[in-house]
């Protein structure tokens, strides 16, 4: 069973949602974050990235930076820009981008479910990336950016969601990237019980996005337990802020690869080496966007090629059989010497939301030599990998739109 419980969210005061809610902290460089905050003084990014309040000479990881985050958060709460709801509730959070909507349940998930494996992961985390968010959550005594979770559809939750969405939302605004955001509160005790009981019967919940934020939230919760000495399990630090989406609401986008080297191979030599493993044909219709699993697009030397993976190269293993794994195992590692794409500076990754034009731009500018356009990993593939306790290669999934920070805040104290 999964413990998914309501909570008393802190939220932007009515009418301030558009000014406060912000894209996640990790989509910006320090310079980009500073520019956003300069133009939007109420943006929650100033709390998520408090180094924007300091001269560039001050390290992002200076103790004063985390103290500033708590100071700014407390001020917003004290001065009424953020307001706490009067009673525990669940929330519906709908995002619409280019005519497509996804609606998830905002709630708190259990750190014990993460530790036991009831909340399943598919990506390896790095301690150095966790440490920054551990310090941020601990200093603020709050989780400010939700973890993106998913689950297999449940008819009772689906029906409740449809009914709630027929009512007027608490807020309705458009954020960066022309994303429409709507929120509803679910506070009726009967509705709360329907949701609680539904998730009590769900065996597995999956992390779709936010592995590092999730691991950090769990580490802070475990730290608070140790500091408390005695605890009941009901304390807020035992739970972390999440948005849970049923699988039919999610669209995983392609996560494409751009290569800064051909490992001293010419264009013709690289194509010849590829043809030893794959069926490679030049596209006669312009761009070669893959339309099915087992097909990749290649932009090389100003032209697009279709790269088809033969069935005999696809193992039954749920990880090794992913298109991104086959590209890594058959091309990046043996032909180009890129053994660890997570660390190798010769490869970069481009989210599908930026389109194939961005791949062309990166290659045509001379910044990169080649680009591979990938068919998106499916939600079923994600479930299969996580259910086996396995890990996907880095940058296997791209979710869009991004969940906004500062729209829901979960205090730990």
Q: Give residue-wise pLDDT tens across range 318-335.
A: 999 999 999 999 999 999
123 and 270 in a single domain? The answer is no
For residue 52, what pLDDT is reported?
96
In a domain, 139, yes or no: yes
Q: Report how far residue 21's alpha carbon sits from residue 144's, in angstroms, rounded to the nearest whole number.
A: 10
**Could you give the 3-state DSSP secondary structure of residue 120?**
strand
Q: Which of 2, 57, 45 is nearest to 20 (CA)?
A: 45
Express each pLDDT in 81-100 by its tens digit: 999 999 999 999 999 999 99
Rg (CA), the chain: 22
19 found inside a domain: yes
| Residue 199, SS3 per DSSP | helix
Percent of the chain with pLDDT over 90: 89
Confidence of residue 27 (pLDDT cuts 50, 70, 90): confident
Average pLDDT of span 90-112 = 96
DSSP state of 329: I
**Closest to 407 in 3D by CA, of 138, 175, 67:** 175
Looking at the structure, tell me whether residues 272 and 206 fall in a common domain. no
- Number of independent structural domains in the chain: 2
Buried residues in 7-42 as b, exposed as e (16+ CB within 10 A): bebbbbeeebbbbbbbbbbbebeeeebbebbeebeb
DSSP H helices, 15-124, are 17-20, 30-39, 45-48, 63-78, 111-116
Range of the domain at 153: 4-251+400-411
Question: 124 and 243, same structural domain?
Answer: yes
Residue 383 lies in a domain: no
The residues, any chain, with a CB within 8 Å of residue 261's CB and separated by 6 or more, are 336, 346, 369
Q: What is the pLDDT of residue 181?
A: 98
Regarding whether 226 and 157 lie in a shared domain, the answer is yes
Mark whether 150 and 47 lie in a shared domain: yes
Note the pLDDT of residue 282: 95
- CB neighbourhood size of 86 (10 A): 8
Asked if 126 and 265 sit in the same domain, the reply is no
- Please check whether residues 405 and 306 belong to one and the same domain: no
Helix pair angle (127-140, 211-228), 10° resolution: 50
* Beta strands 410-411 and 100-110, pairing class: unpaired
Reported as a pLDDT band with limits 50, 70 and 90, residue 302 is very high
Residues 274 and 214 in one domain: no
What pLDDT, on a 0 to 100 scale, did the predictor assign at position 127? 79
SS3 279: strand
Quote the pLDDT of residue 22. Answer: 97
Q: What is residue 369's predicted lDDT score, i.e. its pLDDT?
A: 97
pTM: 0.91
Residue 128 has pLDDT above 80, yes or no: no
Q: Is the peptide bond before 184 cis (omega within 30 degrees of 0)?
A: no
Residue 407 has pLDDT above 80, yes or no: yes
278 and 179 part of one domain: no
pLDDT score of 1 more than 80: no
- Whether 244 and 311 map to the same domain: the answer is no
Q: What is the predicted pLDDT for the residue at 123?
A: 86
- How far apart, in whole angstroms, are the C-alpha atoms of residue 18 and residue 56? 28
Average pLDDT score, the chain: 95
* Residue 374 predicted with pLDDT over 80: yes
* pLDDT given at position 26: 87
- Here the CATH number for the domain that contains residue 259 is 3.30.1760
Mean pLDDT of the 350-369 span:
94
pLDDT of residue 89: 98
CA nearest 60: which of 213, 68, 75? 68
pLDDT value of position 224: 97
Task: State CA 112 to chain mean position distance.
Answer: 21
Average pLDDT over residues 379-393: 93
pLDDT tens-digit series, residues 243-285: 999 999 988 999 999 999 999 999 999 999 999 999 999 998 8
406 close to 280: Cβ distance less than 8 angstroms? no
26 or 216, higher pLDDT: 216
Residue 129 has pLDDT above 90, yes or no: no
């Amino acid at each position: 069973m999964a413990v998914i419980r309501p909570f008393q969210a802190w939220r932007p005061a009515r009418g301030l949602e558009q000014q406060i809610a912000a894209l996640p902290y990790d989509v910006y460089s320090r310079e980009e974050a500073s520019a956003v905050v300069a133009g939007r003084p109420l943006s929650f990014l100033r709390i998520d990235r408090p180094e924007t309040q300091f001269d560039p000479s001050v390290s992002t990881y200076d103790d004063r930076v985390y103290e500033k985050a708590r100071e700014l958060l407390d001020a917003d709460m004290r001065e009424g820009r953020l307001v706490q709801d009067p009673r525990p509730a669940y929330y519906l959070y709908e995002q619409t981008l280019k005519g497509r909507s996804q609606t998830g349940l905002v709630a708190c998930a259990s750190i014990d479910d993460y530790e036991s494996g009831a909340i399943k992961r598919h990506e390896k985390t790095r301690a150095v990336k966790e440490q920054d968010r551990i310090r941020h959550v601990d200093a603020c005594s709050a989780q400010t950016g939700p973890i993106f979770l998913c689950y297999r559809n449940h008819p009772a939750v689906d029906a409740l969601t449809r009914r709630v969405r027929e009512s007027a939302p608490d807020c309705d605004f458009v954020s960066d990237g022309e994303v429409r955001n709507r929120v509803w509160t679910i506070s009726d005790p009967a509705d709360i019980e329907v949701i609680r009981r539904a998730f009590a019967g769900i065996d597995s919940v999956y992390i779709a996005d936010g592995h590092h934020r999730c691991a950090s939230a769990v580490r802070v919760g475990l730290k608070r337990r140790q500091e408390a000495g005695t605890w009941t399990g009901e304390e807020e630090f035992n739970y972390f802020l999440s948005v849970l989406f049923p699988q039919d609401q999610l669209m995983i986008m392609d996560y494409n690869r751009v290569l800064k080297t051909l490992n001293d191979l010419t264009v013709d030599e690289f194509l010849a080496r590829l043809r030893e493993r794959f069926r490679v044909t030049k596209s006669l219709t312009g761009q070669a966007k893959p339309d099915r699993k087992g097909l990749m697009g290649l932009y090389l030397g100003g032209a697009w090629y279709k790269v088809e993976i033969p069935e005999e190269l696809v193992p039954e293993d749920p990880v090794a059989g992913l298109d991104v794994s086959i590209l890594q195992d058959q091309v990046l590692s043996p032909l180009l010497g890129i053994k660890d794409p997570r660390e190798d500076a010769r490869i970069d990754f481009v989210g599908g939301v930026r389109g194939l034009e961005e791949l062309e731009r990166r290659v045509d500018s001379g910044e990169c030599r080649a680009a591979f356009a990938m068919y998106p990993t499916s939600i079923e593939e994600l479930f299969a990998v996580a259910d086996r306790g396995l890990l996907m290669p880095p940058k296997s999934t791209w979710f869009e739109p991004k969940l906004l920070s500062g729209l829901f805040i979960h205090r730990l104290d």
